[in-house]
Amino acid sequence: MNTSILTFLKANGEQLDADIAHALKIPLAQLKRQVSQLSASGDVICCNVTRYIEGKKIEGVSCRLSCDLPAPARGRKPGVKKDTSNDLDLG
């Protein structure tokens, strides 16, 4: 079952524990046990979250793969200055 959780997270990215349990059709208590095992082994990173959706407070555990890093932002980075050493006037 742990492999199905890892496969689901690889395909869908970061998810709440309730969403994972619903998608994989397993009880939430069983999912929490398996996710805690995956977290202890370092395969998954989890954190407690509180979200407000349409004014309703939803508390849960957010899970993602430990190797799943966000993509770097595109474009120029703040604080990076143009290298002027290549702009020598040879004339």
State which H helix or E strand residue 31 sits in.
helix 28-41
Angle, CA 30 vertex, CA 24 and CA 35 arms, to 5°: 80
Which numeric CATH code is attached to 2-65?
A: 1.10.10.10
Residue spans per domain, the chain: 2-65
CA 14 to chain CA centroid, nearest Å: 4
pLDDT 10s digits, 52-74 = 989 999 899 999 998 756 667 78
Amino acid at 13: G
Integer Cα distance of 23 and 73 in angstroms: 30
Per DSSP, which regions of the chain are E strands? 15-16, 44-53, 56-65
pLDDT at 66: 87
